[in-house]
Amino acid sequence: MTLYDILRATRYWQKFCCYVTNAYDQNVPIGFGTRRELLDEEQNDELFDYLMCNVDSITVTKDKALLIRVRDEHFNQPLEKQYECTGGWKVSDSKTRPFKFSNEMEDWEYHG
């Protein structure tokens, strides 16, 4: 199943959190919002590059959004090797790195 398959089958008001994931549990955000917002190229132009990627997992967040992780062609490479000239981010510093680990994602957040 691809990301496109899921977006095609859901209602326009369904909320999403979309990420590209890899074997190292590094999840890069590629789109947030309702189905309608995700499919608006002006709001989420990065998402279109991943529409045909296979879905790795689907979970439901506390606020009932679908958190979708897709695999791209670099699934078996850590981000440090994909983006060698990143400048100032470190894997150990969540404030500077461009990705989240699974335990930092929306389906683990508490909305009390």
Q: Tell me which residue of 34, 13, 24, 38 sits closest to 97, measured CA to CA.
A: 24
Q: Tell me which residue of 4, 7, 30 sits closest to 19, measured CA to CA.
A: 30
Residue 9 scores a pLDDT above 90 = yes
41 and 48 Cβ atoms separated by less than 8 Å? yes
How many other β-carbons are positioned within 10 Å of the β-carbon of residue 68?
Answer: 22
Question: What does the mean pLDDT of the chain come to?
Answer: 87
Q: Is 112 a domain residue?
A: no
Q: Is 101 a domain residue?
A: yes
Determine the Cα angle at 3 with ends 62 and 54, to 5°.
110
Q: Is 79 a domain residue?
A: yes
Q: Is 72 a domain residue?
A: yes
Reported as a single tens digit per residue, the pLDDT across 49-87 is 999 999 999 999 988 999 999 998 899 998 877 766 556
Residue 11 scores a pLDDT above 80 = yes
pTM for the predicted model, two decimal places: 0.87
The count of domains in the chain is: 1
> SS3 of 73, please?
coil
**Greater pLDDT, 74 or 112:** 74
Domain range holding 42? 3-105
Q: Is 91 a domain residue?
A: yes
How many other β-carbons are positioned within 10 Å of the β-carbon of residue 31?
Answer: 21
Q: What is the pLDDT of residue 111?
A: 43
Residue type, 35: R
